Amino acid sequence: MLPTSPAQLRRLLFVLNPVSGDIDKSELEGSITAYCTERGRTAAFFHTDGEDDLAQLRMHLHEHTYDAVFAAGGDGTVSLVAEVVSNTHLPLGILPLGSGNGLSKDLGIPQDPAEALRLTWDYQVRTLDTLRVGGRFSAHLADMGFNALIVERFDAGDVRGPGAYVRIATQEYAAYQPATYRIETEQETWEGVAFMLTIANANTFGSNVIINPDSQLDDGKFEICLIAPFPNTAAPGLLYRLYTSDFDASDYTRRLCCSQARISVPGATQVLVQIDGEPYQLPTPVEVEMYPASLRVLVPATV
């Protein structure tokens, strides 16, 4: 971490997703503006609308000058802003307003947006690695298999929040058919059937499932976390391990550590992949590439 001076951040851009999570944002801009004004900061706002947000945000930052860019939304908004500011001098700030808020949890950022606003003046800068998964940017987690399917169903639905995610997962579980994957890394080759496969540069899903214990966001490595098909009788024990940092102790789990990987699904030309909370159909094989020390993030000064 790099200690920084609060005086360095004066001009702040807040990127808002009006539909993330299940949170009323009607008074959010006024609250942010008042908070920043009281502390001698200037707050500006950029609203996402799903219409070429990446290019529009890049253009906005080309035309305006800021000291930091805050993502005010869920994992998708965080990933959008992170991609735009990666490999630049601009740090990413996070106001967690989504259903999961996975990266902010891994970084120890307060989950109360009002408390997270403290990062506008009291912070440290942490430099993180990022990934490209099938050519798409990832700052946190990506996966294939069961969770990717649930994210796709969740994304297509009208209801947000953890309850909707659990309901969809319960509905899909009984009929789900695991796929066969082939994984080639610089260390080893693995082929087999997996219930789900997670490409993890981080530790925890927004649901607080610990998929990758002891991971580091800045070590130049990522992990591929595999969960094999399991009988219904093993589900409670496996779920318990996923909430208690005990992933590696299960008979149905395995992790591969690497800095690059190629993942294919024998017999398939495309595979469903969720990346930082967004579902995509990607051609196979899916190449995973590591970009070390490519993202600067504001984190609490005590972390």
Q: Distance between CA atoms of 51 and 166, rounded to whole angstroms?
A: 29
Say whether both 90 and 144 belong to one domain.
no
Beta pairing, strands 2-3 & 11-16: unpaired
Q: Do 144 and 288 fall within a single domain?
A: yes
286 lies in the same domain as 163: yes
> Tell me, what CATH number does 269's domain have?
2.60.200.40
> In terms of domains, do 260 and 124 share one?
no
Domain containing residue 61: CATH number? 3.40.50.10330
Q: Are residues 190 and 114 located together in one domain of the fold? A: no
| pLDDT score recorded for residue 1 | 45
Does 172 share its domain with 253? yes
- What is the structure's pLDDT at 158? 67
How many residues are given for the chain? 303
Q: Which residue has the tokens 């440290």?
A: 124
Consecutive 10-residue runs of the chain (303 residues): their mean pLDDT?
Answer: 58 86 69 95 93 95 97 93 97 91 92 94 96 96 94 75 74 90 96 97 86 91 96 91 89 96 96 94 97 97 72
Give whole-number Cα distances, 303 to 2, 112, 124, in Å.
12, 16, 8
Residues 107 and 182 in one domain: no
Do 153 and 54 reside in the same domain of the chain?
no
User: Helices marked H in the chain — which ranges?
Assistant: 28-38, 53-63, 75-85, 102-106, 113-116, 146-156, 162-173, 235-242
Shared domain check, 220 and 170 = yes
Domain count, the chain: 2
- What single-letter amino acid sits at 288? V
- Same-domain pairing of 186 and 287: yes
pLDDT of residue 18: 76
In the prediction, which pLDDT does 123 show? 95
Residues 113 and 165 placed together within one structural domain of the fold: no
pTM of the prediction? 0.88
Instruction: Tell me the residue type at 209.
Output: V
What is the pLDDT, as a whole number, of residue 24?
A: 54
Domain, as residue range, for 66: 2-128+294-299
Does one domain contain both 285 and 140? yes
- pLDDT tens digits, 245-276: 899 999 999 999 999 999 999 999 999 999 99
Residue 48 burial by Cβ neighbours in a 10 Å radius (0-12, 13-18, 19+) = buried
